Amino acid sequence: MTTQAPLRLAEIDERVRSALSSDRPRRPSALAVSLTFAWRTLLKMRHVPEQLFDVTAFPIMFTLMFTYLFGGAIAGSTRAYLQFLLPGIVVQTVVFITMYSAAGLNTDISNGIFDRFRSMPIWRPAPLVGSFLGDAVRYSMASLIVIVVGLILGFRPGGGALGVVAAVGLLLVFAFSLGWIWALFGLIMRTPNGVMMSSMMVLFPLTFASSIFVDPRTMPWWLQRFVNVNPITLMATAERGLMAGTATVGQVVVVLAVSAAIVAIFAPITMYRYRNLR
Amino acid sequence: MPARRSPAVAIEASGLVKSFGETRAVDGVDLTVRTGTVYGVLGPNGAGKTTTLRMLATLLVPDAGSARVLGHDIVREADAVRGRVSLTGQFASVDDDLTGAENLILLGRLMGYSRARARERADALLHAFGLTEAADRLVRTYSGGMRRRLDIPASIVVTPDLLFLDEPTTGLDPRSRNQLWDIVRLLVAEGTTVLLTTQYLDEADQLAERLAIIDRGRVIAEGTVEEIKASVGSGVLHVRLGDPERRPAAAALLERSLNLTTYSEGDPARLSARVSAGEEVTRALDVLARNGIPVTAFSFGQPSLDEVFLALTGHRTADDAAEEVTA
């Protein structure tokens, strides 16, 4: 016993000594670091796949409920309503998942892993940008699930596969810009639950007071005023247009402009908060 | 092995101040840490240790004062500082939703290693820290001690020139604690400078060559462990009196005849005295016995942080906490 202890200690010493690095790698580029963070997001998705089911079960429920409960009343027939509703539901689905990303960010901050990232010599926005990039995969998968359900129920996009792909692509750009807003929430709030609650409060009125479920022309004038400038409406209109193959350049450009404006406003504020985390 | 040459002074901080709202968490801290040494920052909870460390690790920008870490200004050259330091936070900062190996590969990739080299580094570190078997398990299934054990390799994927350790042994069992101390010594032998915060004088004694004692955001004592101990007394004698009524008499006796500083605690039968050498213990016990004051039990130990505080500031850490609660 007495001779064994020091031997074992020496062995640990030797192992640790040989595990010390003798080299110093070159600092990776901003893109390489962002992609590494995107990889991290994908790994997490693979390890915790339940997350994706959580966020897609809800929109599938919505599609079924609205189509069959209200479809007849709103659009005359459930089939006609589905053509109108489905692109909007895709938008709603993705917009809601962006919020889950913010909750994840908040967890990263509270368990200290962001301290480690922030003390590393890497491009500062990389952890955020990388997680947005990784989330794009999650958003695409969720869109795909909702679209497939739609196709099964009888949704027939006039824009064909290309139109649908373009619609999802535009939605990813819009989701990327929203990411900066929720990231700010994630940085300010104390708990992931707080993030969910507060972004819910923003998202519920925004998605319902939009053109996702009903044509704004059926609403009172004062509500129309709001609904018509609501970014979610702009996004839903472009999404619908692209999927139906009737989108105008103006519809697409306005979404890109809104997304650019959101990034221009929120990215600096979010990065300021990120640099000055307590 | 840090390849880059380092200046003789690894950390030089002067007048660091950081407030959060009304609270001045750090209130003018000066520190000088020589390269290649372990420096301890000792203090109770809320003293400003972590905030000081976070400023030096470039996670917080000081409100006033300045500091250079490895020759770089922590504000203007924060990125250069980050390139050479590493941080192990108070809570294991590893990713729960990744496996142990993935955690280390991720960090290796972020530091600029190729995929293959990052994998190699991860394997070597997991082996060194006895985590090979748990390598492919999600960290959320790890025990607290294992998470802590992963935290250290996570900080040395690229061996840093300066390592910040924030209360590294809080919550560790004695065996893991000894292992961690060993690893710290080894890193220092290989050329890394370590700044560690701790609540235990014992830990500072084991590792640090010099230490600063922080209270309410200020450095109240600084020096080698020996110097600090000399100012406090190398130990404390606790005695348990057979007759609590005799405590004032016993205290007076020790103060008068041996010139010891005594203090009485909540337990009426308990009396403590600061002693500077072992022989004072026998003399104190002898004096009590010869004057007919029976002692039922005694113990002699290193001064606790609390006793260091009492000696240096005249107040106890626990009392402070109580004051804060009632205020």
pLDDT digits (tens, 9 = 90+) for A183-209: 998 888 888 888 888 888 888 899 989
Contact across the interface for B128 and A16, Cβ inside 8 Å: yes
Q: Is A218 in the B-facing interface, judged by CB distances under 8 Å?
A: no
Contact across the interface for B87 and A16, Cβ inside 8 Å: no
Contact across the interface for B109 and A16, Cβ inside 8 Å: no
Q: Is A220 in the B-facing interface, judged by CB distances under 8 Å?
A: no
Give which of B26, B110, B190 to mutate to test A binding, by max A Cβ within 10 Å. Answer: B110
Q: Give the Cα separation of B281 and B273 in Å (integer).
A: 9
Give which of A7, A15, A16 to mutate to test B binding, by max B Cβ within 10 Å. Answer: A16
Strand partners, B138: B99
- Measured in residues, chain A has a length of 278
Q: What is the pLDDT of residue B292?
A: 87
Q: Give the Cα separation of B322 and B327 in Å (integer).
A: 9
For residue B1, the chain A residue with the least C-alpha distance is: A22
Q: How many contacts (CB atoms, under 8 Å) link A and B?
A: 123
For residue B62, the chain A residue with the least C-alpha distance is: A276
CA A28 to chain B, closest CA, distance in angstroms equals 5
CA A127 to chain B, closest CA, distance in angstroms equals 10
Q: What is the pLDDT of residue B327?
A: 32
Q: Is A17 in the B-facing interface, judged by CB distances under 8 Å?
A: yes
What percent of chain A lies above the pLDDT cut of 90?
A: 50
Question: Do residues B268 and B247 touch, judged by C-beta distance below 8 A?
Answer: yes
Strand partners, A240: none
Where b means 16+ CB within 10 Å and e means fewer, A30-58 reads: eeebbbbbbbbbebbbebeeebbeebbee
If one compares B262 and A241, the residue with the highest pLDDT of the two is A241
Spell out the per-residue pLDDT of chain B, length 327, in tens: 444 566 789 999 999 999 988 889 999 999 999 999 999 999 888 889 999 999 999 999 999 999 999 999 999 999 999 999 999 887 778 999 999 999 999 999 999 999 999 999 999 999 988 899 999 999 999 988 888 889 889 999 999 999 999 998 887 888 888 888 888 999 999 889 999 999 888 888 889 999 999 988 999 889 888 788 777 666 788 888 888 888 988 888 888 888 888 877 778 888 888 887 778 888 888 888 888 888 888 888 777 666 777 777 766 654 444 333 333
pLDDT digits (tens, 9 = 90+) for A21-35: 778 888 999 999 999
Tokens of A12: 């640990």
Contact across the interface for A20 and B190, Cβ inside 8 Å: yes
Q: What is the pLDDT of residue A10?
A: 64
Rounded to the nearest integer, the mean pLDDT of chain A is 88
User: Which residue in B87, B95, B117 is closest to A119 by CB distance?
Assistant: B87
Tokens of A114: 């962001």
**Residue (of B180, B44, B97, B159) closest to A20 by Cα position:** B159
Q: Give the Cα separation of B107 and B39 in Å (integer).
A: 26
Contact across the interface for B157 and A21, Cβ inside 8 Å: yes
**Residue (of B156, B210, B216) closest to B186 by Cα position:** B156
Contact across the interface for B182 and A9, Cβ inside 8 Å: yes
If one compares A126 and A111, the residue with the highest pLDDT of the two is A126
Q: Per mean pLDDT, which range of A70-84, A168-182, A215-229, B296-310 is the poorest?
A: B296-310
CA B189 to chain A, closest CA, distance in angstroms equals 10
Q: What is the identity of the amino acid at A11?
A: E
User: Which residue in A24, A36, A122 is closest to B3 by CB distance?
Assistant: A24
In chain A, what residues touch B125 (CB-CB under 8 Å)? 19
> B199: exposed, middle or buried (C-beta count within 10 Å: 0-12, 13-18, 19+)?
buried
User: Which residue in A19, A118, A122 is closest to B124 by CB distance?
Assistant: A19
Q: What is the pLDDT of residue B317?
A: 58
For residue A15, the chain B residue with the least C-alpha distance is: B128
User: Which residue in B89, B98, B124 is closest to A47 by CB distance?
Assistant: B98
Q: What is the pLDDT of residue B274?
A: 81
Confidence at A12, pLDDT banded by 50, 70, 90? low
For the cut 50, the answer to whether the pLDDT of residue A3 exceeds it is no
Q: Is A11 in the B-facing interface, judged by CB distances under 8 Å?
A: no
Q: What is the pLDDT of residue B35?
A: 94
CA B82 to chain A, closest CA, distance in angstroms equals 5
A69: DSSP letter? I
The ipTM, to two decimals, is 0.85
Q: What is the pLDDT of residue A245?
A: 92
Confidence at A9, pLDDT banded by 50, 70, 90? low
Q: Over the Cα atoms of chain A, what is R_g?
A: 23
CA B117 to chain A, closest CA, distance in angstroms equals 10
Q: Give the Cα separation of B276 and A39 in Å (integer).
A: 59
pLDDT digits (tens, 9 = 90+) for A33-47: 999 999 999 999 888
Chain centroid to Cα A193, Å, comes to 17
Q: Is A9 in the B-facing interface, judged by CB distances under 8 Å?
A: yes
Confidence (pTM): 0.82
For the cut 70, the answer to whether the pLDDT of residue A1 exceeds it is no
Q: Is A118 in the B-facing interface, judged by CB distances under 8 Å?
A: yes
A218: DSSP letter? G
SS (H, E, C) B227-270: HHHHHHCCEEEEEEECCHHHHHHHHHHHHHHHCCEEEECCCCCE
Q: What is the pLDDT of residue A41?
A: 92
If one compares A249 and A49, the residue with the highest pLDDT of the two is A249
CA A50 to chain B, closest CA, distance in angstroms equals 12
- Measured in residues, chain B has a length of 327
SS (H, E, C) chain B: CCCCCCCCEEEEEEEEEEEECCEEEEEEEEEEEECCCEEEEECCCCCCHHHHHHHHCCCCCCCEEEEEECCEECCCCHHHHHCCEEEECCCCCCCCCCEHHHHHHHHHHHHCCCHHHHHHHHHHHHHHCCCHHHCCCEHHHCCHHHHHHHHHHHHCCCCCCEEEEECCCCCCCHHHHHHHHHHHHHHHHCCCEEEEEECCHHHHHHHCCEEEEEECCEEEEEEEHHHHHHHHCCEEEEEEECCHHHHHHHHHHHHHHHCCEEEECCCCCEEEEEECCHHHHHHHHHHHHHCCCCEEEEEEECCCHHHHHHHHHCCCHHHHHHHHHHC
Q: At what angle do helices B115-128 and A4-18 cross, to 10 degrees?
A: 170
| Helix (H) or strand (E) segment spanning residue A277 | none
Strand partners, B193: B162
For residue B92, the chain A residue with the least C-alpha distance is: A112
Q: Per mean pLDDT, which range of A125-134, A234-243, B192-201, B226-235 is the poorest?
A: B226-235
